[in-house]
Amino acid sequence: GDAVSRDGRTWFSDDLGAWHVIVLDSNCGFLGAACSSESDQARWLREDLAANDARCTIALWHHPRFSSGYHGNSGSVGAFWEALHDAGAELVLNGHEHDYERFEPQDPGGAVDPAGGITEIVAGTGGGDLKPFERIAPSSLVRIADAYGVLELTLRTGGWSHRFLATDGSVLDQGDGTCH
């Protein structure tokens, strides 16, 4: 209903300090939310990115573009990744997999791109049964499949820091990044 959409759409953006925050709907084919490069959502994303002048951009959606987890890569969201990469976005957060995984900055093809790539963090450790990693994606840096926890993310002017906190309070991954 109205509580899950803005203007009848299940995708939107807001500014938060120096950051432009984009929420997308990766349930491609459900609720009329196609994800192809010609979809209403992808056109909206390109327009939104072109109209925004924030230094830092983060995007969130459910299905990860890249994953070493049980479900693997979600190619259906490739158009999102391409638009975000072209616009110089820094960070993508996903769920879906029942694990935690952090990637090196990547281009739309999954190649390491330290200068202009997007860092992806998959944090699906909130309660479903954890699943082991099936295969290791080429740009995967950190993989955790044996601990429930949360991602703590701090957005700063010009960058961010993150910590993956296990439910026992231990820090299992941490790092930071700067905006392009």
Mean pLDDT by 10 residues, the chain (180 residues): 75 96 90 82 97 97 97 95 98 97 97 96 95 95 98 97 98 96
pLDDT of residue 37: 93
Structure tokens at 82: 């391409």
pLDDT of residue 29: 78
99 in Cβ contact with 64 (< 8 Å)? no
pLDDT of residue 2: 67
Residues 6+ apart with CB under 8 A from 170: none
pLDDT of residue 57: 98
pLDDT of residue 131: 96
Beginning with the edge strand found earlier in the chain, give each strand of the sheet holding 140-144 in spatial order: 12-16, 19-23, 56-60, 91-94, 119-123, 100-103, 140-144
